[in-house]
Structure 1
Amino acid sequence: MLSLSYLVKIHIQIYADFEEIRKEIEAETERITGNNKGISDEPIHLKIFSPNVVNLTLVDLPGITKVPVGDQPNDIELQIRELILKYISNPNSIILAVTAANTDMATSEALKVAREVDPDGRRTLAVVTKLDLMDAGTDAMDVLMGRVIPVKLGIIGVVNRSQLDINQKKLVADSIRDEYAFLQKKYPSLANRNGTKYLARTLNRLLMHHIRDCLPELKTRINVLAAQYQSLLNSYGEPVDDKSATLLQLITKFAAEYCNTIEGTAKYIETAELCGGARICYIFHETFGRTLESVDPLGGLTTIDVLTAIRNATGPRPALFVPEVSFELLVKRQIKRLEEPSLRCVELVHEEMQRIIQHCSNYSTQELLRFPKLHDAIVEVVTSLLRRRLPVTNDMVHNLVAIELAYINTKHPDFTDAIGLMNNNLDEQRRNRLRDLPPSVPRDKAASSSAPVGEQVDGGTGNWRGMLKKGEEGVPGDRTTPQPLSVSPQRGHAVNLLDVPVPVSRKLSAREQRDCEVIERLIKSYFLIVRKNIQDSVPKAVMHFLVNHVKDCLQSELVGQLYKTALLNDLLTESVDMAQRRNEAADMLKALQKASQVIAEIRETHMW
């Protein structure tokens, strides 16, 4: 069986004598398969240039073997069948189903296998050989006329050289002449439609028609492949002539792409996830912002903590007013909690700027892959720059929180408004209490006993100490604080008051309850002011000390560290296989361009 293909390209050795060609084919066959009828799927390529042949590519496949002989394996039939199907399954090939004339066409293995891959017979041509070896009194007229088994592309009979002719080195030209004489004598009416020459012209015509049918798809595939290999070749770049200029160009391009990725103007925009400046923005306003909003102003602060702070701030003397020190102590404790999420924001931005390096290497500056040492050096320089800026930025964030802790501005406009609202609420509560007193209680005494000492805010400046007073002790409340344990002195002995334990649980008095509520409200009000400041100032600090600084200094840092004469040869050393891949891509691109030209010329080709 023969299969026709037109996609053959291999290393060529030129021969001028067909006898040498025959010997070379035999030697190559024995080298690959041995000299005892072994087989191999490795092809032997032979290209013939002659004015006496048509444009044609033939793939000579082994005949189907049923019984292994010589060194052939037991599954020789299966191996040959798979080898044949590998070639004839190609929809761009024409199948030559070769069958001997002295056998029954109905049992032809070649036609059977061809029909498996070409059930419509659109690309199958039957070839009948050994017309001169048929039994006396028989002929192949019905077979050649297509009356036995019809084949759409036709059936062509040929007479090849016998083994004796081959051994006696009979010329192919003499064989063709004898074949023509035989056909004129035995099949005069079919002589012009049979024979080796007619078979060659028919194959050429079928091939050209078949190629024309496949031209649109072939042209598209070739153009796509050519574009892919052109892009691949561009990524490999040209061999470096001016290393100094090349190094500066690569450094400049990387720095520009890095900055463009942050600004959102990069050529390659990521669509699967946020990247660069977009992710930094998300960190600032989503991750960091939501984290701060989730921090409870009074989180981790119990009523016992507030009351204890108030008591500790009064010292050994009972206080008439709630001490301001207790407020500052507690609000600083709460403000300190904003430092950890702020530092985490810096860390997330630093990680994203580290990821941008890989993004630029993968998508924006693929030519860096040519020079792995330069790529590693650039990554190291940028990583080092980011590493140096991280502690500076962290220190600034530490300072932002420390600044808020350094001075509690109780005259902040927003905080003054909060104090004014609380004063109004206290006045309203006092009026409600007076309204609820029984008629027997004088209003003036109740008012004087319930009004806070120094209630007026000093000079309208928002001093919150004046709105608190020492209230009556022992009035039941709804919050708890330490309760003194009962002590039973022994008879006849004095009670040592120093042995009485610190109170652990008791009801809060009205005064204590009011003091704690006021302190908590003040803490919450001031905490929200500081949180708003931190939420605004931390992103600004990160942008100034980390992001913008790296953007502004990146190119100069790369040039200063890498643009050195002593490093040129080392940094611009290509990977071991880069030159080989560049040559392979260039060769393939030339082959594809040649194929495109051939396709363009097919319409002008003479058809037999």
Structure 2
Amino acid sequence: MTDSQQQHICVPVGDQPEDIEAQVQEMILSFISNPNSLILTVSPANSDLATSDALKLAREVDPDGRRTLLVVSKLDLMDAGTDALEVLLGRVIPVRLGIIGVVNRSQHDINTQKSLEDTVRDEHAFLQRHYPSLASRAGSRYLAKTLSRLLMHHIRDCLPELKTRVTVLSAQYQARLNSYGQPVEDHSATLLQIVTKFASDYCNTIEGTARYIQTSELCGGARICYIFHETFGRTLQSIDPLGGLTELDILTAIRNATGPRPALFVPEVSFELLVKRQIKRLEEPSMRCVELVHEELQRIIQHCSSYSTQELIRFPKLHDSIVEVVTGLLRKRLPVTNEMVHNLVAIELAYINTKHPDFTDAAQVSASVNSQQVVICPLQQVLSFIIYSAWVNGRNRAEALDGGKRWKNEKVAEERIPPAGFGSPSKSQAINLLDSAMPVSRKLSSKEQRDCEIIQRLIKCYFLIVRKSIQDSVPKTVMHFLVNFVKEHLQSELVGQLYKQGLLQELLIESQDTAQQRTEVAQMLEVSAEAFVL
């Protein structure tokens, strides 16, 4: 790399491309950037070394100058009264491998066909006259010996590392070549081998025994377990047993279950109606659990084709067909699993088992509260009736003295106004009492409050029983009807769909990229073997 070359390529000449300078610099850098290469930099003595383009490029890749040798040419063309002694001694530009001065052949020497022996003799004479202290360490002959010595030592130092690198590269190329496989000869055996390996890798990913285990995220069976016990489990636990159920809803259900007669006891029909409404809320998260597991089983297909079964990259049509078969199998099992999970909730709704062992205690508590109501309510009714009768009789006797029309008018008015002890509803409240729903703003009586509490306690107790059952049954159902079924029937489904004589040739067509890469890797492996021998 010389400064004269750098200067000649700054401006394109003739048919040279406009970016000739950039191309040459890129070519030079591609060689000198290699840490195993030696850099020979040539700069003329009659120019300023501080502006040397060659030294500038060498400094970019070798800032310490460990691989750089500087040659100072044209010592005989320096201005009179000047020399390059300071430069040759390394006091201007420090270079680790040394600085050697030479005298070039002139154009006149070339024209007159001056021999190399005469050129070397004249060069030595010039160095003896102008640089006597450096004459033994300068000149073309010394440069040739130095370059040979540096190259030999450099090869000796780099050879062990180079051998190691060649060995590693050979092993890598051999592994890549093995991954591409040999050209297919027995299509039937090859197809069965690939299908069996894929099915095994798929099942192993679910079981957690796959060779390629991810560390960045949950995959396969681990994610399914997380869906069951974290996503699905926490979702069910977050559902409030009484969520969306107001006291007005409870009282309305109680009244609708009693018909035209006031109720002395809390009707069982109202409890069943309300608890079914709450149990129904468990169906949506259960169906979502099935959907999440189905999505994970679909993701395992991509995981196996990317990490576990390299042959699928080699045969793209076979890869697409396997994905289609597995996806179809999952799609067929999804409605079956959904139906079974739907039936789990429907089974709970079909029969409210109030004799459930875990429900007995709550039922006994509610029964004791009901028994208190039976005693209190009749007593209140009797007392109210006695007070009301006395008030009416006293009023009638007092007004009988007035007689006539005045008595009749007041009697009619009094019959329309209830006694103070029973409350006096306004006109709007009287209208609301005829509606099917309870007025929202009305304060509940003590009996109504107790009825609500009884129903709420029973609903919560029974809901927790059903939720526990659903939380346990849904994962089991999904495993049986979806996950385990796919594991058990995957290989037979693949063989039945793909192992057909008419499809063998088409499915095992190798991609062009794989064939080309196999050829390139085989060539690189051969070159590596030759380099190791050398």
Match status 1:554 vs 2:490: yes
> What are the Cα deviations for residues 128-173 of structure 1, in whole angstroms up to 9, with x where unaligned?
5567x769999999699748867543455667766678789x7xxx
Distance 1:137 1:63 in 2: 27
Q: CA deviation at 1:217?
A: 5.3
CA RMSD after TM alignment: 4.3
Distance 2:345 2:305 in 1: 37
Q: Is the 8 A contact 1:254 1:365 kept in 2?
A: yes
Aligned pairs for 1:15-34 within 5 A: none
Equivalent in the alignment of 1:113:
56
Provide closer, same or farther for how the CA distance between residues 350 and 300 of structure 1 changes in structure 2, counting only shifts above 3 A. same
* Aligned with 1:94 (options 19, 33, 38): 38
Q: Is the 8 A contact 1:473 1:510 kept in 2?
A: no
Provide closer, same or farther for how the CA distance between residues 163 and 252 of structure 1 changes in structure 2, counting only shifts above 3 A. farther
Distance 1:335 1:313 in 2: 20
Q: CA deviation at 1:303?
A: 1.9
Match status 1:536 vs 2:477: no
Q: Is the 8 A contact 1:321 1:470 kept in 2?
A: no
> What are the Cα deviations for residues 331-385 of structure 1, in whole angstroms up to 9, with x where unaligned?
1111111111110100010011111111112211133111111111111111111
Q: Is the 8 A contact 2:206 2:221 kept in 1?
A: yes
Provide closer, same or farther for how the CA distance between residues 471 and 134 of structure 1 changes in structure 2, counting only shifts above 3 A. farther
Question: Which SS does the other structure have where 1:62 is aligned?
Answer: helix
Q: CA deviation at 1:225?
A: 4.3
> What are the Cα deviations for residues 8-27 of structure 1, in whole angstroms up to 9, with x where unaligned?
xxxxxxxxxxxxxxxxxxxx
Equivalent in the alignment of 1:255:
199
Equivalent in the alignment of 1:364:
308
* Aligned with 1:276 (options 215, 220, 224): 220
Equivalent in the alignment of 1:306:
250
Q: Is the 8 A contact 1:99 1:108 kept in 2?
A: no
Normalised TM-score (structure 1): 0.68
Q: Is the 8 A contact 1:158 1:179 kept in 2?
A: no
Q: CA deviation at 1:312?
A: 2.1
Letter in 1 for 2:427: S
Equivalent in the alignment of 2:393:
none
Question: Which SS does the other structure have where 2:512 is aligned?
Answer: coil
Equivalent in the alignment of 1:232:
176
Q: CA deviation at 1:89?
A: 4.5
Match status 1:243 vs 2:243: no
Q: Is the 8 A contact 1:97 1:114 kept in 2?
A: no
Question: Which SS does the other structure have where 1:64 is aligned?
Answer: helix
Aligned pairs for 1:441-460 within 5 A: 449-450=375-376
Q: CA deviation at 1:240?
A: 2.1
Equivalent in the alignment of 1:65:
8
* Aligned with 1:564 (options 500, 508, 529): 500
> What are the Cα deviations for residues 391-412 of structure 1, in whole angstroms up to 9, with x where unaligned?
0000000111111111111111
Match status 1:379 vs 2:348: no
> What are the Cα deviations for residues 197-244 of structure 1, in whole angstroms up to 9, with x where unaligned?
654443232123223444565455555544544443333233222222
Provide closer, same or farther for how the CA distance between residues 113 and 289 of structure 1 changes in structure 2, counting only shifts above 3 A. closer
Distance 2:99 2:351 in 1: 104
Provide closer, same or farther for how the CA distance between residues 591 and 393 of structure 1 changes in structure 2, counting only shifts above 3 A. same
- What is the aligned residue count? 487
Letter in 2 for 1:365: T
Distance 2:271 2:382 in 1: 19
- Structure 1: give runs of 5+ residues left out of the alignment: 4-60, 431-446, 454-468, 475-482, 490-496, 599-608
Q: Is the 8 A contact 1:243 1:572 kept in 2?
A: yes
Question: Which SS does the other structure have where 2:69 is aligned?
Answer: strand
Distance 1:163 1:242 in 2: 72
Provide closer, same or farther for how the CA distance between residues 105 and 212 of structure 1 changes in structure 2, counting only shifts above 3 A. farther
Equivalent in the alignment of 1:477:
none
Q: Is the 8 A contact 1:314 1:323 kept in 2?
A: yes
Distance 2:316 2:5 in 1: 49
Q: CA deviation at 1:426?
A: 6.5
Letter in 1 for 2:509: T
Aligned pairs for 1:186-265 within 5 A: 199-215=143-159, 218=162, 221-265=165-209
Provide closer, same or farther for how the CA distance between residues 570 and 2 of structure 1 changes in structure 2, counting only shifts above 3 A. farther
Equivalent in the alignment of 1:412:
356
Tell me which moved more, 158-167 or 300-309.
158-167
Q: CA deviation at 1:515?
A: 2.5
* Aligned with 1:511 (options 435, 439, 447): 447
Letter in 1 for 2:375: S
Distance 2:484 2:312 in 1: 25
Normalised TM-score (structure 2): 0.77
Match status 1:520 vs 2:456: yes
Q: Is the 8 A contact 2:12 2:20 kept in 1?
A: no
* Aligned with 1:590 (options 518, 521, 526): 526
Distance 1:141 1:358 in 2: 70
* Aligned with 2:238 (options 269, 273, 294): 294
Q: Is the 8 A contact 2:166 2:531 kept in 1?
A: yes
Tell me which moved more, 179-188 or 289-298.
179-188
Distance 2:444 2:88 in 1: 119
Q: CA deviation at 1:63?
A: 4.2
Tell me which moved more, 63-72 or 585-594.
63-72
Higher relative contact order (CA 8 A, sep 6+): 2
Q: CA deviation at 1:81?
A: 5.8
Provide closer, same or farther for how the CA distance between residues 115 and 568 of structure 1 changes in structure 2, counting only shifts above 3 A. closer
Q: Is the 8 A contact 1:161 1:175 kept in 2?
A: no
Distance 1:113 1:289 in 2: 68
Q: CA deviation at 1:522?
A: 1.4
Tell me which moved more, 231-240 or 322-331.
231-240
Provide closer, same or farther for how the CA distance between residues 313 and 472 of structure 1 changes in structure 2, counting only shifts above 3 A. farther
Distance 1:147 1:311 in 2: 110
Provide closer, same or farther for how the CA distance between residues 406 and 100 of structure 1 changes in structure 2, counting only shifts above 3 A. closer
Letter in 1 for 2:476: K
Question: Which SS does the other structure have where 2:328 is aligned?
Answer: helix
- Structure 2: give runs of 5+ residues left out of the alignment: 386-423
Question: Which SS does the other structure have where 1:410 is aligned?
Answer: coil
Aligned pairs for 1:50-61 within 5 A: none
Equivalent in the alignment of 2:514:
578
Q: Is the 8 A contact 2:265 2:374 kept in 1?
A: no
Q: CA deviation at 1:538?
A: 0.5
Aligned pairs for 1:92-171 within 5 A: 92-100=36-44, 103=46, 109=52, 112-113=55-56, 116-117=59-60, 118=62, 120-127=64-71, 129=73, 146=89, 152-156=96-100
Percent identity (aligned)? 64
Tell me which moved more, 300-309 or 332-341.
300-309
> What are the Cα deviations for residues 454-495 of structure 1, in whole angstroms up to 9, with x where unaligned?
xxxxxxxxxxxxxxx999999xxxxxxxx9763899xxxxxx
Distance 2:444 2:81 in 1: 127
Tell me which moved more, 247-256 or 233-242.
233-242
Aligned pairs for 1:387-398 within 5 A: 387-398=331-342
Q: CA deviation at 1:78?
A: 7.4
Distance 1:137 1:504 in 2: 120
Q: Is the 8 A contact 1:292 1:338 kept in 2?
A: yes
Match status 1:338 vs 2:282: yes
Letter in 2 for 1:398: H
Q: Is the 8 A contact 2:184 2:190 kept in 1?
A: yes
